[in-house]
Amino acid sequence: MPKQDKNDNHVVIFDSTLRDAEQSPGASLKVSEKVEIAHQLARLGVDVIEAGYPRSSDVQFEAVHRISKEVEGPIIAGLARTVEKDIDAAAEALRPARRWRIHTFTSTSPVHMEYMLKMSPSEVLKKAVKAVRHARSLTEDVEFSGQDAPRSDVKFLYEIIQAVIEAGATTINIPDTVGYSTPEEFGRLIADLRQNVPGIDKVIISTHCHNDLGMATANSLAGVVNGARQIECTINGLGERAGNASLEEVVMAIETRKDILKCSTGIKTEELYRTSRLVSRLMGIEVQPNKAIVGANAFAHESGIHVDGLLKHRSTYEIMTPESVGVTKSKMVLGRHSGRHGLKARCEELGFELDEQQLQGIYEKFTELADKKKEVFDEDIIALIDDEITALPEMFHLDYLQCSSGTGTLPSATVRIVRGEQILQEAAWGDGPVDATYNAITKATGLKVELENYSIRAVTGSSEALGEAILRIRYEGKVFVGRGVSTDIIEASAKAYISALNHMMVRTNSGNTLGAK
């Protein structure tokens, strides 16, 4: 358990990337991807991982169960409505974990109770007490949330919180579900709860702030200043609508401004950047370049005056170092002649434990890359590792791609795709080379999907850098993410598209029925 003494200045970091962020449009993950993120969150040092909502689907249940079995360190939490069956499902999924928490929630604002729950306040209170009591009979660690707390009647909020504390809740979460509050108001709400709710001094008060007005980080910190000792947050600030308080922002604010915030977290800040990249890649949601802490421009200085100041003294324009959040300077690590042994050593230094088969796969990609590129950087190695360890059994394999485009020509592409024994070959035109390539893949595979989102970035700075394409496709209402890397950006785009199709085939178990040409 995190320290439960509320006078302590340790702020519990409760990560909801796998629950609240996973609810955001297009962000859904495979179970193995959730487990991979959970391992990285444990490496990052979060106190609590909210692994999912077990009763909501079999996939959610399995993900929470596997994370509970496999991920050591943090407390694993599962979400449940104030409904006995939800709580039982959460307990069953969580039981293998060494330390686990049931997080049960209802709504406390008049608008939610009247229109959504269709219950009177006294019914809501009764159900909440019963649920907390039941959860407490299963575990010592029970969190209670009243959705839309800032828009609730404060007297009712005091009443229900007092009642659930008496029923055994150990953490009381105050969600600003619709991101409506302001820092001053939210801070005052926390202070008022501490003043007016008997028994509140025995529990941890938590914040859960959404970012609809861009104030989630500020509101969470205002909560801490007024006595909250848990922050619920997500990597890259992902989550419903405009997202949640961003983990990297709240953590680095606490770290950088300890002089006024006077508290600390257990986060290993050097792991922030890597965690952000992993979540972005697996969810297929790019981080905006100017995003605080983890955006591509967060440590980039452009104007002459700034650069001049920095060269004279870093602290002129830098309030934290890139290294402190895990953004390291690009290092030339290996060349063509470095060999398998050198590659293995570098992968280990970068924190990756690879089995022999994975190492062999990465080595083959590395030698291919080293032939094309003069210098191979850490970022390149990480991209190759990502590519290898997230590779799926390939239903479709890109065997050949030829593409032509230029001023005054009609972009065209020819692809050859191997599917088992079948060779699928087609040519197509398009608005540009990527469009032509995607049209050719569609003709070859016979799979018509909707391309929802596409982005390409250079993994390192130079024009010969590896390009990484990330995209999302939609098929029959479900979203699938694909990613591809190559020094040729059209090839990276084709690989990303085919990897999304492979995800789709695996996840819909349609390997034998779809795209049969």
* Cβ contact 37:278 at 8 Å: yes
- Provide the residue type at 93 as one letter: A
Among 106, 145, 405, 487, binds ligand KIV (CB under 6 A): 145
Rounded least distance, CB 261 to ligand KIV, Å: 23
> For residues 365 and 377, what is the distance between their CA atoms, to the nearest angstrom?
14
Q: Does 158 bind ligand KIV (CB under 6 A)?
A: no
Q: Does 105 bind ligand KIV (CB under 6 A)?
A: yes
Q: What sign does the dihedral 504-505-507-513 (CA atoms) show?
A: positive
* Cβ contact 405:413 at 8 Å: no
Q: What sign does the dihedral 160-161-166-171 (CA atoms) show?
A: positive
List C-alpha distances in Å: 98 to 43, 72, 139, 269, 282: 17, 8, 11, 25, 27
From 57-65, 171-179, 249-257, 472-480, span contacting ligand KIV (CB under 6 A): 171-179
Q: Report residue 35 CA to chain centroid gap.
A: 12
From 173-181, 214-222, 302-310, 329-337, span contacting ligand KIV (CB under 6 A): 173-181
Count of residues of this chain found to bind ligand KIV when the rule CB under 6 A is applied: 9
From 172-180, 313-321, 405-413, 464-472, span contacting ligand KIV (CB under 6 A): 172-180
Q: Does 208 bind ligand KIV (CB under 6 A)?
A: yes
Nearer of residues 20 and 380 to Zn ion, judged by Cβ? 20
> For residues 443 and 426, what is the distance between their CA atoms, to the nearest angstrom?
6
Identify the three-state secondary structure at position 324: helix
Q: Which residues sit at the interface with Zn ion, rule CB under 5 A?
A: 20
Nearer of residues 214 and 335 to ligand KIV, judged by Cβ? 214
- Report the chain's terminal Cα–Cα distance, integer Å: 56
Query: Which of Zn ion, ligand KIV, none sits in contact with 145, Cβ below 5 to 8 A by type?
Result: ligand KIV
Query: Which of ligand KIV, Zn ion, none sits in contact with 217, Cβ below 5 to 8 A by type?
Result: none
Query: Which of Zn ion, ligand KIV, none sits in contact with 179, Cβ below 5 to 8 A by type?
Result: none
Rounded least distance, CB 151 to ligand KIV, Å: 11
Q: Does 177 bind ligand KIV (CB under 6 A)?
A: yes
Radius of gyration of the chain, Cα coordinates, nearest whole angstrom: 25
Rounded least distance, CB 208 to ligand KIV, Å: 5
- Provide the residue type at 223 as one letter: G
> For residues 105 and 128, what is the distance between their CA atoms, to the nearest angstrom?
8
Q: Does 147 bind ligand KIV (CB under 6 A)?
A: yes
Residues lying near ligand KIV in the complex (CB under 6 A): 20, 105, 145, 147, 173, 175, 177, 208, 210
